[in-house]
Chain A
Amino acid sequence: MSTKLGMKHFWPFFWKLANPKVFMRWSGLCLPWIIALTVLCLGTGLIWGFFLTPDDARQGSTVKIIYLHVPSAFIAINGYFVMVLGSLFWLVRRQHVSVLVAKASAPIGMTMTVIALTTGAIWGQPIWGTYWVWDPRLTSFLILFLFYIGYVALWAAIDDQDKVADLTSVLALVGAVFAILSRYAVIFWNQGLHQGTTVTIADGVSQKNISSIFFQPLLLSMIGFGLLFLTLLLIGARTEIRAQRLQVLEGLERLK
């Protein structure tokens, strides 16, 4: 009942955010609080994980890399889904704010993919004996990174804003296949060196393949990385909205 009531109010508010003025007002109000929460969660999660958790019996101190690797991989994949949703809303409803949110999401997701690939390689060397293998999850993650690069490069290559929004949206939708593959590769192909998922949500319940002593700071780090993504996304989207307004004003000045 309360969920239905919540959704009843959520969707009208969500669609109102497609109005740039409403988006700027609400994001401006929320941003300082989200920044404070980001610093709190990310700082606490990483300090807890790095300084206050024990070494793993088999992996030694390399287990501390989990507090960077899992959250960044989580955001790399889900950041792509934000891009896909923004692109989809643009293609269906032609809302500029949605595609600008997608545009702002790409460099953050790309950075998170680099962090996940780099920390994974650093972790892999002592544990697997190699920095890289053509494992299904690693390979699909690398392809996801290439899609991120392609998406960012396409935005930079074309001046016509509506045309580039259409093209990048289609590219984002095509790349969604690899975001799904990256997420579920360890389930689709039961092979390769990469372990199964550390945390999964099944039937609304979180299931974890990790001891609670590591899980609690990991969860906090994941929330911290999620909030960092949201912070940068809001800053980026606000900048893109302002940049679009600036382009219009400068265009009018040139006509005078």
Chain B
Amino acid sequence: MMPDLGKYAVEVTSAYGITFLLILIISFLYWRRGLIIKRRLMAAEARKDA
């Protein structure tokens, strides 16, 4: 299934590996901060309405 990358296998796989890692990190950080802020806002709104 894996294509034969020949003598450049290290270069190609490391480029894909680094890219996927960076995309995963930025996506996780955006998702996590979004979740934290959403929860804190909901709690603050509940306190305001109480």
Interface residues in chain A, defined as those with a beta carbon under 8 Å from any beta carbon in chain B:
46, 50-51, 55, 60-62, 64-65, 68-69, 72, 107-108, 111, 114-115, 118-119, 122-123, 125-126, 228, 232, 235-236, 238-239, 242-243, 245-246, 249-250, 252-253
Complex Cα spacing A92 to B49, Å: 36
Most buried by A among B4, B16, B18, B40: B16
| B38 lies within 8 A of A242 (CB) | yes
CA distance A64 to B19 in the complex (A): 13
Query: Do A119 and B30 touch across chains, with their CB atoms under 8 A apart?
Result: no
| Seed contacts A68-B15, A107-B29; 13 additional CB < 8 Å A-B pairs | A61-B12, A62-B8, A65-B11, A72-B19, A107-B26, A111-B25, A122-B15, A125-B11, A235-B31, A239-B30, A239-B37, A246-B37, A253-B47
A60 close to B6 (CB less than 8 A): yes
A246→B41 contact, CB < 8 A: yes
- Chain B residues proximal to chain A, CB less than 8 Å: 1, 3-9, 11-12, 14-16, 18-19, 22-23, 25-27, 29-31, 33-34, 37-38, 40-41, 44-45, 47-48
Q: Which residues of A contact B1 (CB under 8 A)?
A: 51
Question: What is the CA–CA distance of A118 and B41 in the complex, to the nearest angstrom?
Answer: 38
Q: How far is the CA of A108 from the CA of B23 in the complex (A)?
A: 9
* Residue pair B22, A114 in contact (C-beta under 8 Å): yes
Q: How far is the CB of A17 from chain B (nearest CB, A)?
A: 19
Q: B22–A253 contact, CB under 8 A?
A: no
Closest B residue to A233 by CB, please name it.
B30
Q: What residues of chain A lie closer than 8 Å to B27, measured between beta carbons?
A: 232
Nearest Cβ on chain B to A221's Cβ, whole angstroms: 11
User: Out of B3, B18, B31, which one reaches A61, CB within 8 Å?
Assistant: B3
Closest to A232 in B: B30
Report which of A51, A107, A243 forms a contact with B3, defined as CB distance below 8 A. Answer: A51
